[in-house]
Amino acid sequence: MSIRLVPREEIDKTKWNSCVHYAVNGNIFGYMWYLDAMARDWDALVEGDYESVMPLTHREVGWRKQGLVQPPLVRELAIYSVNPPSNKRTAAFWEAIPEEYKRVNLNLDSFSQPRAEGWITKERTNYFLPLNEQYELIRERYSQELIDRLEVAKEQDLFPMSSLKPERIAELFRKSQGVLSEPEFHGLQRIMYNVLHRGWGFASGIMNREQEVMAAEFFIFSHGRIMSLAPIVTEVGKAIHAKEYMYDLMVRQQAGKPQALDFNTGVKEDAFARQFGAIHYEYFQVEKEREKGWRGWF
């Protein structure tokens, strides 16, 4: 198995994106344009003619020390491959990681985590809601609390809106999150513009009769899912359940198609997703610090 280190500037963009697009474990986070928007520095491990690839998102983690770190707004990365998952391939990729990376702290899918001893592994949870059934059948699995909240929202004179620009979404998201650095703020906008350019997503919002934004979101279509990228709800919107109303409208519009709503979370008990009847699965945060004089990963 031939695996080589390729600097970011030497990566074949077309072959890389093709691998991520057709990978059995592909996701939106692996595309070059997404990584470029959110990762300060990254290089890659590449197998053969880009049949398998692994992003190495790195930065300085100590005095003259480099580490592999998870970029912001990137839920999980992977060893992306067009071939079926195999423990042999996974081990080969981890063994090929350069010695210069003294620490590792990455979120990875279940196919890509290291299997050797010595790793600190923590489960992270994401939720998704299958949309292949008709809306009425999906709604039957809503919690009673959600149904009650939707009834309250219907009485508030709320209206859908789709004219929100990425700059506005990013600004609202920054206010909603409380902390969003300038690189993250601009990176989020670049992601949304890349998605809009490709026709892979859309902005959605809910406003009141005074045309004030109560809730907003940016959804991305990728790999059979509609993923939440930037969920936003104002304090007034929370009181009238505008976010629930917005998501219910989206489910109503997208139901009956072979896809799923990806809530894009990392929380074990996500009450918002669970009230829609969403299903959970685990991905993994893996950590390790390479000791002085250690000559290998395993």
Q: What's the CATH code of the domain at 98?
A: 3.40.630.30
Per residue in 65-115, pLDDT (tens digit) is 889 999 999 999 999 999 998 999 999 999 999 988 989 999 999 999 998
Using 70 as the pLDDT threshold, list the residues of the chain that sit under it.
62-63, 290-298
Cα separation, 97 vs 3, in Å, equals 10
Convert 213-243 to b/e letters by CB count within 10 Å (16 or more is b).
bbbbbbbbbbbebbbbbbbbbbeebeebbbb
- For residue 275, being part of any structural domain is answered with no
Selection from 278, 239, 223 nearest residue 21 by Cα = 223
pLDDT of residue 266: 86
Domain that holds residue 170: 132-258
Are 176 and 158 part of one and the same domain? yes
Give the span between the Cα atoms of 77 and 200, in whole angstroms: 20
Domain assignment present for 274: no
* CB distance 125 to 274 below 8 Å: no
* Shared domain check, 145 and 115: no
Distance of CA 208 to the CA centre of its chain: 29
* Residue 52 within any structural domain of the chain: yes
- Rounded to whole angstroms, how far apart are CA atoms 236 and 242? 9
Q: Is residue 24 part of a domain?
A: yes
**pLDDT for the residue numbered 290:** 59
What pLDDT score was predicted for residue 291?
54
Give pTM, 2 decimals. 0.93
| Contact assessment for residue 126 and residue 284, using Cβ atoms and an 8 Å cutoff | no
204 and 95 in a single domain? The answer is: no
- Looking at the fold, whether 7 and 107 belong to one and the same domain comes out as yes
Three-state DSSP class for 181?
coil
Q: What does the pLDDT read at residue 63?
A: 64
Q: What pLDDT is recorded for position 298?
A: 27
118 and 136 part of one domain: no
pLDDT of residue 294: 36
Q: What local confidence, expressed as pLDDT, does residue 295 receive?
A: 35
